[in-house]
Copies of this chain bind each other. A is one copy, B any other.
Amino acid sequence: MNGAEALCGALLDGGIDVCFANPGTSEMHFVAALDRRPEMRCILGLAEGVVTAAADGYARMAGRPAAALLHLGPGLANGLANLHNARRARSPMVVVVGDHATWHVAADAPLTTDIEGLARPMSDHVTRLAPGESVAAGARRALEAARATPGIATLILPADVAWGPETAAAVAGPAPARRGFDAAAVAAVAVALADARRAGRRAGLLLAGDALRGAALADAARIAAATGARLLSEMFNARVERGAGRPAAPKVPYPVDVATGFLADLDLVVLVGARPPAGFFGYPGKPSFLARPDCMIVRLAEGTDDLPAALAALADAVDASATIPAGPDAPLPPDPADGRLDADAIAAVVARALPEGAVLVEEALTAGAPLYAATAGAAPHDLLQLTGGAIGIGIPLAAGAAVGAPGRKVVSMQADGSGMYTVQGLWTQAREGLDVVTVILSNRAYAILYGEMRGVGVAEIGRNARRMFDLDGPPLDWVALARGMGVPGIRCDDVAGFRRAFAAAVAEPGPFLIEAVL
């Protein structure tokens, strides 16, 4: 058995049976090993940002890591932005990066780079395998690290380690770190919530990570009912269970002034895996932190902790009722009047027609602003957001989510500017026959930047700025782009057409793309 075969076996033994990949020459022995193990599903992305975002989407929905296979430093570099998003989503992932044979590094061949240096800023763990080490043991260590954090474990595999013999006897790795929680923090939070209620002070539970779904979300709702606390969530979340009948935990809004207003009534914020609420950017004369300066902030659990267990313990500590309170009765938006499309109409149509159990991927940015409120009362669904702010995640995130949640319709609401970053992901959707409906909100601009220019006090926009903000001249033809990659599509610019197209698209297996011209 060579090292590559040992790696493949260790991944399969560890429960990884999907490998998103864009391999090159230095990975050929690993490819040959994958080729002998057909139980590993290999999914090609035509750019590495597709590979890492798809692995993220898979992990968010499947609840377990995939492997991502990348080619040397430049291949890793191309995947880093979406590794950053995945890391902020706390998605477990094992990233295998091939490298030159150890003895070839001295030749300073063109593709020689500092792979560790590139990996570290976007990885939770980095391991470089060396000749004579057990590759299987290294792979198990990486897998355990990815699961325990959870996060990104990058494994650098020199070519001669891949083709060399798997020498060392299988080393028993350390037992996977169990994610726990701090019981003292639970007790302290229970006291703080009781004190606040007694003093008439308003409390909020700021939820993140897997506190936003399943039993954990129900426990949070029980705690809120018992203590009078509000539920809220971070500005961007990896996966939220939302929709009719479910407890609502509204997200912290993006604009600083709106966000400070949203948090203004809170005297106490309990962090449940969340960071203290902060602005997405810093602006002149505006604060970084969004809660009132005199708001008390206490931490129930860290993002790496077992949030469901911490919430269950807190529910006990506050003597929460066993009854899960019914979610707020959020109305569906009214059916929009016919006429030209706008972001509100798109949001209303999507919210009304979203199939139960859908996975809603949202990278719609400015054009998607109404979508969040509109879908509060939609059929129960999972919402996947852009966690790290690195635009260019939606199309491949949707692909990976479809792989990780077979049988569920994925609806991908995608801004045009950010969609272009990883447009290549449409081909993977076609290749794998994934059940994804992509809606391009085509406003033909980096529209957010017009707002940001006003935000920094610039009132007049001139030619140079327009040349950097506008995507017209020529306009992108998304139907042609999709067809070029094997995804059928249609363009709409009025409400009736979009309503018809979206209904048809969710009724048929995908992939399909709708260019909604705003």
Chain A residues with CB under 8 Å of chain B are 21-26, 28-29, 31-32, 34-38, 40, 42-44, 46-47, 49, 73-75, 77-78, 80-81, 84-85, 88, 100-101, 103-104, 106-111, 113-114, 117-118, 120-122, 159-160, 163, 235-236, 275-276, 278-284, 288-289, 387-392, 417, 420-421, 423-424, 427, 430-431, 448-449, 452-453, 455-456, 458, 461-465, 467-468, 471, 473-481, 483-486
Contact = CB atoms under 8 A, between A and B. Distances in A.
A453 B281 contact: no
Q: List the number of copies, as a whole number.
A: 2
Contacts of A47: 392, 420-421
Given A100-B281, A279-B107, A481-B485, A458 B28 contact: yes
A388 B104 contact: no
Given A38-B462, A74-B85, A104-B282, 19 more contacts: A23-B468, A31-B453, A35-B464, A42-B467, A44-B467, A46-B471, A74-B80, A74-B391, A77-B84, A78-B78, A107-B279, A109-B288, A110-B236, A111-B280, A160-B282, A423-B424, A477-B486, A479-B484, A481-B481
Nearest to A461: B35
Given A84-B73, A122-B113, A281 B104 contact: yes
Nearest to A390: B74
Contacts of A32: 453, 456, 458, 465
A293 B457 CA distance: 66
A289 B108 CA distance: 10
A478 B480 CA distance: 10
B122 A235 contact: no
Given A100-B281, A120-B117, A427-B474, A34 B288 contact: no
B484 A477 contact: yes
Nearest to A236: B110
B36 A462 contact: yes
Contacts of A42: 464, 467-468
A29 B108 CA distance: 40
B25 A474 contact: no
A299 to B, nearest CB: 14
A28 to B, nearest CB: 5
Contacts of A84: 73-74, 77, 113
A506 to B, nearest CB: 22
Contacts of A25: 280-281, 448-449, 452, 455
Given A104-B282, A431-B474, A462-B38, A29 B121 contact: no
